[in-house]
Amino acid sequence: MHVIVVGGGIVGASAAYHLAVRNVTVTLVDRADTGQATAAGAGIVSPWSRDEHDLEAYTLGRESARHYRELAATLADDGDGDLGFRVVGGIALARDPGELAHQEATLRARRDDAPEIGDVALLDPAELGRAFPPARRDLVGLHHTGAGRIDGRQACATLRSAAQRRGAELRHGSAELDSSGERIEGVRVEGVALEADAVVVAAGAWTPPVCAPAGIDLPVTAQRGQIVHLELPGADTAPWPVVHAFARHYLLGFGGPRVVAGATREDGTGFDHRVTVAGLSQILERAVEVAPDLGEATVAQTRVGFRPMSSDGRPLLGPVPGAENVVVATGLGPRGLTVGPLVGAIAGDLAVGEAPRVPIEGFALTRA
């Protein structure tokens, strides 16, 4: 069986790897667009305190955290290298402990079916300062030990390499679906036809133009996210936890003196990959608001990525109605690095005719 995977981000790389492990013939096609969400994003794997009213989305997040641990161990054991996943713990910040009560109750209630959450504890200002030294001295935190971080670039490189070691072919270029009547015959890469038994389209925010030539219309738009990398002289940020700040912003250490601060959520920008004054200002103001010591940090790098946003904010994951040999996996929004590896594995399941490893009925394209 030959499966073509379009898109070399975290979802596509994972799909290619999981298919190659099955001894499926795989061709991974990637255009390496400026603004790929995986390359820009700061990966936070801490899905347990959200989706209270969406069991399917919560299950996907919960199983994704479990999958990360299993995948990282398997890659290391097989000699495929380091996925770039680390369990560092996570802290939600607040001005008053009462603001954290509901989240604390949610985490504690979910530990029975998600032991990966780890220990849960409220931190007073002194305890918070020991766990996250730059924290503002009057804040408190809710800590759980199981949260992880993932280096998206490293994860993609490791998964692509592992797939290639098992025979996957990597092609660079622009791809679009190639149809003949009602059946998708494969893809065209820079105008050259490649035949396949099945196609996985995991091209993130660029998925709609890949599918459009076959008459497949997907409600996915690009949301711009700007992210800032800081360097704090003399600090070793490797053991720092993932920090959830205010207004959906975050901070996380990435080893050495590096601190990642993010991120904006800008709709309606199209694929404008500029770093803007407004975006940069928003990120830095939010960072210094909760961690004043970061005011002395150096701005080392800025990144821009485009999140694939579906019309209802939920993933689009499943076969295309009327073209069942095409599997679409996109619309992950700000959760791409959190759930991407598992979504790629599920896309691989579907491409070879197997049942998905978690329920995905609510993510079907028929709802779009």
Please give the domain boundaries of the chain with CATH numbers for all domains.
Answer: 2-41+153-219+312-367 (3.50.50.60), 71-148+222-308 (3.30.9.10)
**Cα atoms found within 13 Å of the Cα of residue 216, Cβ hemisphere only:** 28
51, pLDDT greater than 90 = no
pLDDT in tens, 162-204: 999 999 999 999 999 998 766 799 999 999 999 999 999 999 9
Choice among 116-130, 145-159, 245-259, 331-345 with the minimum mean pLDDT: 245-259
CA distance 297 to 260: 11
Tell me what pLDDT residue 181 has.
61
228, pLDDT greater than 90 = yes
List the 198-201 sheet strands across, edge first.
169-172, 25-30, 2-6, 198-201, 323-330, 316-320
Residue 224's pLDDT band, with cuts at 50, 70 and 90, is very high
Tell me what pLDDT residue 18 has.
99
CA distance 243 to 91: 5
- Give the type of residue at 89: G
pLDDT in tens, 275-327: 999 999 999 999 999 999 999 999 999 999 999 999 999 999 999 998 989 99
**Average pLDDT across the chain, whole number:** 95
Question: 269-285 burial, b if ≥16 CB within 10 A, otherwise e?
Answer: beeebebbeebeebbbe
Tell me what pLDDT residue 297 has.
97
Q: 136 — phi, psi (to 5°)?
A: -60, 140
Calculate the alpha carbon distances from 152 to 6, 38, 40, 317, 330 in Å: 18, 5, 8, 21, 16
For residues 324-340, average pLDDT: 96
Higher pLDDT, residue 224 or 256:
224
Residue 368's pLDDT band, with cuts at 50, 70 and 90, is low
Express as a percent the part of the chain with pLDDT over 90.
89
The two beta strands, 175-180 and 183-189, are antiparallel
Tell me what pLDDT residue 182 has.
65
Stated pTM of the model: 0.96
366, pLDDT greater than 80 = yes
Which helix (H) or strand (E) segment holds residue 30: the answer is strand 25-30
